[in-house]
Structure 1
């Protein structure tokens, strides 16, 4: 659905109201972390899909808001503080509504996680930073007063800007330059119909250009003394981060909790008052057949999910009826009364305004989403003549009327970045739908620009679809193939890789032709780019059979013989992912892949991937036979018991157990490996918990096999000539001695 598990926005990038935005970001991060589980658990009914889309839409809106607040102008964010706070609360309401809609449609333990996040959303308080709010207030008062040519107005502008710059830490030439660029970017995105916002932004830019020297001079004397007294540092940016680091730690720990949570922190909640499922104070405790007490809503959901066991003890329930625990409810009521705590019914959800239908989630509509941050001001009387003369003048002018050197702002690199930013916005809206209409060189340039745009803006891919992105891109790649243009192929596949890495739902846009095209180029000059894409696709269950159907497996196996170490490792990783599909395992076995993996079991880097492939293949009978018959395969697997990590040991034991539990002959092959028993005993003592259990189980199987083998030997010895019996005994000597002498636990007890 287009939600990535990665962090939404770096908290250090928030320019103002750091605590408020960090709190929202953490809430969004928590939702994104559980979103894959929600997506995997959702019902296939229309209401479930609709609820999931609603939650996804709310997450996207929150991410857009956070990105806007990290990239926007400090001054503009400060003067629109009230609107930003309103947006944060609106975003919180949308997230809460989305989670509440999906909560009843997922398994109980996931519902508990969702419930905890919902509680934290309801308790969240979005309080703007007092210094940032003060800066906004000063500038708003200046805007409300209006501009004139009088000296008093110039004095008011200087004082207002100096105060705001001090509060917002715009106190150096670099900081001023960054702020001006931020305002310029905002101006580029403002529509022609929003003249009010344009005038405000231009006026802010005018103030920064006109009074930059005064800001720096004033801060040299005033800010330095203040910072030294407070922090012992002359770097305002460092002081800003230290100050906000303190605010974040203290604010997030002390804000966002209602009086109920505060009182619970004072009182020690008795463990028996907690629901074993939700770990919270119970409102309506009930007893189930196992004798355990739970919150009614959570145990009922557990049973509704089809469970017939006690979630605490694992005991199978004789019946599924619930009986109110009146004694426990009375005890909880008395305890709550003592500490003045009021318990809310967890089944009651407060009404949340239905806001999801009022806004689109696409990047294309982002401007309309934030452009209504309008000031209730009339600044039509502000004179912008001097601004228009300087701002719209030729870019080669490096100085304004005050003599401030603007060379850093006007150099060619900055102009290219500004031009690129403008192109990015255009690309964002048009995607690649018009790609085929351009000449070939322009097509290549557009693909390159789009790739750079996606790398710098991971939200841009949300507006792209099969029609406006995938189909034009595949057509571009096909043309590049016909023209043998390696440069264009690299750029196109890199763009596709970036898109798929950032937009998981975009994988659904890929058709069979795309997979065939990827398979075609696996053995070419763009192998690296194809492997990047294949590795992403192979992680998704729905793509594995499509990759196999494209014929890519043969090429991947051929890459194993490559001298390029990186390509070889990537190919093995992809095959490891593909082997998670039972259908693909059959294809791998038919292609006789197992002998190809054996040499890599001795490579410490590749062995951890190869052993997983072999373990996955063991679900196939033909694969087990191939593992047993491939020279050196069992021996290489056994070596990992001695030199491998705990995880490698677990995989190796799974393979050996799979073999030995199916066939006695396989047990004999395992026992014939030297030092196998020493390795098994070592793992049974020093391995992981799973490794210990598996090693003991394998030892048991081998002991049973050895016992049966001895009985068979005795029977054969009584029916053959003495000299034949001696020869037969010599053949068995190796592992018999091992069992009988080195490890007496396997010796036959004397009667």
Structure 2
């Protein structure tokens, strides 16, 4: 890193000459693109960049300021705080409501990076960004929608924000995004993670079942998503079933969830395996008192009972039977490993 370059660039961005200022913003963007050290040394540039964002009418100037601030805020908590302290949220929120799709995308991306800090989450919420982000999910560009769902997920981890999110009626647009994205993508992971959290609320559970293909979208992630996505998907369905088994059990079963759950009991994360087995037990069509009179409450017996209830295609039923065989084999292998090793007994003859 060159001190001379830093000094020259700071001189440019702090200049009163608009052309020099624009060049300074562009230089900061490129210098900070992959260098943490440059980000730290350009903290002084935050205020003039925010001023560019607030006072410029030229798209070129606004975009240059956005991109420079975006790079300065990545993985740098100090710069994030400086950006907010310099008054950046007001113009960012203004551009979030702009008719210009590019500026709207830059504003959403800026909120995404700022929301990654535990220090700034409450500040962002206090500026009323949550309903605006949900609105981006409804009618933003594909890029802005992806950044919006990640930002909402980041904000949802701060106490009290889930209530604010559900007040904006987010389920229809989250489901629409989940249905349209690749089920193994980061977008699907953030959608299912947010849905898992929102399934703690009855309003959101009802909204999900009201959306055509809502439960099915989660089941599809459970089947072919990443390991983390599948964990969130089974968690969302489990919360639904635990909240009101009678109400949601058949709705979940009708979407063909059994094969995916069976696979998770064998190949999922530790949490996925536990949640899958719990959900399989809840999906079984018996009451606790009836269960005590039936076969032992083993996973194999639970799943056999469920497969007998599947009202689906031969292909789906065949897949479930095949996965059941795999579950039984893995279960047997695990039991054999748990058996105590018997001591060897030597027989001596006189």
Q: Do they fold alike, i.e. is TM over 0.5?
A: yes
2:132 aligns with one of 555, 558, 565: 555
Is the CA contact (8 Å cut-off) linking 1:628 and 1:669 kept in structure 2? no
8 Å CA contact 1:499, 1:506 repeated in 2: yes
Cα distance in 2 for partners of 1:630, 1:572 equals 18
Residue 505 of structure 1 corresponds to which residue in structure 2? Answer: 78
Give 1:470's aligned residue: 46
Superposed, which structure 2 residues align to 1:400-549 within 5 Å?
424-428=6-10, 432=13, 434-435=14-15, 438-455=16-33, 458-465=36-43, 468-480=44-56, 484-501=57-74, 503-509=76-82, 510-511=84-85, 513-522=87-96, 523=98, 524=100, 525-549=102-126
For the residues of structure 1 that align with 2:208 and 2:219, how far apart are their CA atoms? 12
Query: Which position in structure 2 is the counterpart of 1:387?
Result: none
* Structure-to-structure mapping, 1:322-361, within 5 angstroms: none
Q: 1:581 to 1:618 in 2, by over 3 A?
A: farther
Instruction: Give the 3 Å change call, closer, same or farther, for CA 459–431 of structure 1 in structure 2.
Output: farther
- What CA deviation, in whole Å up to 9, does each residue of 1:663-688 have, x standing for no partner? 23344344542422333223223433
- Structure 2 gaps of 5+ residues are 291-305, 312-316, 325-350
User: Are 1:544 and 1:584, in contact at CA under 8 Å, matched by a contact in 2?
Assistant: no
Aligned residues: 293
Q: Name the CA distance, whole Å, in 1 between partners of 2:159 and 2:239.
A: 16
| Alignment correspondent of 1:581 | 158
State how far apart, in whole Å, the 2-side matches of 1:671 and 1:596 are: 20
Residue in 2 aligned with 1:661? 242
Aligned to 1:685: 266
SS in 1 for 2:160: helix
Distance 1:707 1:458 in 2: 58
Question: 1:106-130: per-residue Cα shift (whole Å, max 9, x none)?
Answer: xxxxxxxxxxxxxxxxxxxxxxxxx
Partner secondary structure for residue 169 of structure 2: coil
Aligned residue in 1 for 2:280: 699
1:614-653 pair list within 5 angstroms: 614-653=195-234
Aligned residue for 2:259, secondary structure, equals helix
- Asked if the contact 1:515–1:546 (Cα under 8 Å) also holds between the matched residues in 2, the reply is no
Question: Secondary structure of 2:119's match?
Answer: helix
Q: How does 1:387-402 map to 2 (within 5 A)?
A: none
Matched, 1:673 2:254: yes
What's the Cα RMSD here?
3.5
**Secondary structure class of the residue paired with 2:74:** helix
Q: What does the per-residue CA deviation read over 1:440-464, in whole Å, with 9 as the maximum and x for residues that have no partner?
A: 3343333334444445864244345
Seen in structure 2, the aligned counterparts of structure 1 residues 675 and 449 have a Cα distance that, compared at 3 Å, is closer
Larger radius of gyration: 1
Q: Structure 2: how far apart are the matches of 1:431 and 1:669?
A: 65
Within 2, Cα distance between the matches of 1:662 and 1:426? 61
Tell me the distance in 1 between the aligned counterparts of 2:122 and 2:146.
21
In structure 2, the residue matched to 1:143 is none
Shift of 1:624: 3.5
Quote how far apart the aligned CAs of 1:501 are. Answer: 2.0
CA contact 1:579–1:617 (8 Å) conserved in 2: no
Which whole-Å CA distance do the structure 1 matches of 2:245 and 2:30 have between them? Answer: 59
Q: How does 1:364-403 map to 2 (within 5 A)?
A: none
Structure 1 stretches lacking a partner, 5+ long: 1-66, 72-362, 364-421, 712-734, 746-751
